[in-house]
Amino acid sequence: MIEEFKTNLAATLTANTGVGEHLEGVTVYVGDVIPAAKDHPAITVDWEDNLDANRQKSANGRVRLELDFRVCLYVSSYKGVKAAHAAMNNLILRAGETSYLGLHPLLSGLANTSTFTDSLGNVWAITLLPDSERGVVKSENAQFASVACAFKVQIWTVVTAAQY
């Protein structure tokens, strides 16, 4: 199920990498990968190796299962840190002709309108968690910089205690 969701999310992101799309020119990878700078801009989709099971206070013994995934966007620039950040910001959020484009609106739209059904028939809701992280690596002369920004996507479902 974890691999199913990673593959499904990566396919959705890849479908939005064409000209004029949310992630124009971005390459999407699945798994714990750090793409080489020559392959930037790039996105990786990976599971955060956690499974939270929270028993809900109900008479029927329902359990809420939560899985967190990391969607990380990588951008590099030979024009320094400011240029790398500008390129990153452009891929995260920019104005399109009729709506906003970028990784954040795409993930937000998935969270607001989509569900994921696994091979066992369980329906999972998709949530974009509010926290994101950003990091910078730059060369000694500061001419080359790589920026990474990670978003957390959570899927969750409610099952009976017997299913868990």
Q: 84 lies in which domain range?
A: 2-160
- pLDDT digit string (tens) for 104-157? 999 999 998 899 998 888 899 999 998 889 999 888 777 899 999 999 999 998
Average pLDDT over residues 91-96: 93
User: Whole-angstrom Cα distance, residue 38 to residue 150?
Assistant: 19
Can you give the pLDDT at residue 54?
60
The string over 35-49, giving b where at least 16 C-beta atoms fall within 10 Å of a residue's C-beta and e elsewhere, is bebeebbbbbbbbee
- The pLDDT > 90 percentage for the chain reads 65
Please count the other Cβ atoms lying within 10 Å of the Cβ belonging to residue 59.
5
Closest CA to 82 of 144, 140, 150: 144
Count how many domains the chain has: 1
What is the residue-averaged pLDDT of the chain?
89
With residue 137 as reference, give the H or E element that holds it: strand 123-138
Higher pLDDT, 120 or 80: 80
Can you give the pLDDT at residue 141?
76
User: Whole-angstrom Cα distance, residue 7 to residue 156?
Assistant: 17
Asked if 77 contacts 83 with a C-beta cutoff of 8 angstroms, the reply is yes
Name beta bridge partners: 55.
Answer: 63
pTM, full prediction:
0.88
> pLDDT at residue 9 above 80?
yes
**Strand, helix or coil for residue 81:** helix
CATH number at 33 reads 3.30.2000.10
Can you give the pLDDT at residue 164?
61
Can you give the pLDDT at residue 55?
54
